[in-house]
Amino acid sequence: MGDRQRDGYVLTTEATGIDVARVHRWLCDESYWAAGRDYEVVARSIEGSLPYAVLYGTEQVGFARAVTDGATFAWICDVFIAAEHRGRGLGRWLVDSIVEDLSGRGVARFLLATRDAHDVYRRSGFTVLEGPGRFMEIDRRPTRAAILGHA
């Protein structure tokens, strides 16, 4: 996968590039989908996923992770760009890089969920889920209402 560079930013999959405390703060304090998530849960989720970080100098300014078997399926989640770095296409670069990397391994199906960024992800090739009635879930997240826009 290797590091990528663009306009002074570096996108990396190196674990040393992940500032777990910063990712926890973003997800816990600034996201609607992971509000209040415990630090230990964030740390374990990163360990169990393929994490990506966007760095500006030595500062981490973006994050996403892919939950994947590395062969057939990937769920892209926890996509976050620090507020002061938004509007520069970093989120799309991050998602496109994950799709490119995993497609290179043969992964043909990607899933993600969003409450309000459909247009952003359409630019990366995502479409509304076809046949949603085939999918079933158990969702015990305390943030479920906010995620679904019922809050």
pLDDT band at 63 (very low <50, low <70, confident <90, very high): very high
Does residue 151 surpass a pLDDT of 70?
no
Mean pLDDT over each residue of the chain, to the nearest integer: 94
Residues 51/15, Cβ–Cβ less than 8 Å: yes
**pTM score:** 0.91
Q: What is the mean pLDDT of residues 15-31?
A: 94
Torsion (CA) 23, 15, 5, 122 in degrees, nearest 10: -50
Name which of 45-49, 50-54, 94-98, 117-121 the model is least confident about: 117-121
CATH label of the domain that carries residue 22 = 3.40.630.30
Length of the chain: 151
By residue range, what is the domain housing residue 141?
4-147
Beta-bridged to residue 4, according to DSSP, are 11
| The total number of structural domains that make up the chain | 1
**Segment 38-52, tens digit of pLDDT:** 999 999 999 999 999
Name which of 30-39, 82-91, 139-148 the model is least confident about: 139-148
Predicted local distance difference test score (pLDDT) of residue 150: 80
Does residue 55 surpass a pLDDT of 90?
yes
